[in-house]
Amino acid sequence: MKSIILGIDPGLSFTGYAIIAYEKPKIELLTIGTMELGKTDKETHEKLSIIYQRIYQFIKEYQINAFAIESPFYGKNIQIAIKMGRTQGVCMAAAIAHQVPIYDYAPRKVKQSITGKGNASKEMVAGMLQNIFKTPFDNHFLDATDALSVAVCHAFQIANPIMGKSKSSWKNFIEQNPDRIKKN
């Protein structure tokens, strides 16, 4: 079954977005970009409204059936955290309005799924995405490639749903992998 995944890197000034089509094993980039609202004189609620409307339109236009968003990281500046939470909330509200399932990924998980390293730089992630999609991405496009990495991370989770889940015991491992047990 083909998944149309919208990946979002939320930010009040710059919100990255990417839409991919995934049908194992093929991933196709449909669109990618950044909503740049940082240099406008708009109030916060106006920016949030613009972000909501654009995401709502993407979901409708591309018939999105999976919404992947990067979860906020915890920083020292509470004002930035509040703005990030508001932005994430309106993004998620657009998905909820269309009854699209929401998948939330920690930045470390996203980086690890793309590069194999949870502490990879944005540039390293963008470089790996260039290899996957055979498309050059400019370094000023990093919010967009962050969104793409979230969408690709979700596609990888669809491909291997137990990836990243720990097996707390040998019993769980055996239950999840009966074909790997040799019987004498």
For residues 156 and 135, what is the distance between their CA atoms, to the nearest angstrom?
19
List residues bridging with 20 in a β-sheet.
Answer: 5, 29
Q: Torsion angle, CA of 88/4/28/147, rounded to 10 degrees?
A: 0
Q: Is 28 marked active-site? A: no
Our answer to whether residue 9 is catalytic in this structure is yes
Tokens 């609202």 correspond to what residue?
37
146 part of the active site: no
Catalytic residue among 28, 36, 41, 70: 70
- As to burial, measured by CB atoms within 10 angstroms (0-12 exposed, 13-18 middle, 19+ buried), residue 62 is middle
* Chain centre to alpha carbon of residue 125: 13
- For the annotated catalytic residues, the residue numbers are 9, 70, 143
